[in-house]
Amino acid sequence: MAAATVLRHFTPISSSLKPPSRHHRRFLHHSLFPKLPSHSPPSLLKFGAENSEPQPPPSLPETDCPVPPEQQPINEYQSLSSSFPFSWASGELVEYSSRLFLTGASFAFFVGLPVSWFGSVGPEYEPVKRILAASSSGIFVVTLAVVRMYLGWAYVGNRLLSATVEYEETGWYDGQVWVKTPQVLARDRLLGSFSVKPVLTRLKNTLVILGLSLILVVNLGNSPIASSYKTYKDPRDRSSMPIPGAYNDETARTFEPEAFCGEPSSDEPSSDLL
Q: Pick the residue with more confidence: 103 or 259? A: 103
Instruction: Determine the Cα–Cα distance for residues 93 and 97; give it in Å rounded to an integer.
Output: 6
Span 84-140, pLDDT tens digits: 999 999 999 999 999 999 999 999 999 988 888 887 655 456 788 888 889 999 999
- At residue 158, does pLDDT exceed 70? yes
Q: Residue 236's Cα: distance from chain center in Å?
A: 51
Helix axes 197-222, 127-161, angle to 10 degrees: 160
Is the backbone of residue 91 left (phi > 0), alpha (psi -120 to 50) or beta? beta
- At residue 242, does pLDDT exceed 90? no
pLDDT at 169 (0 to 100): 77
Segment 179-184 shows an average pLDDT of 93
Kindly report the pTM of this predicted structure: 0.61
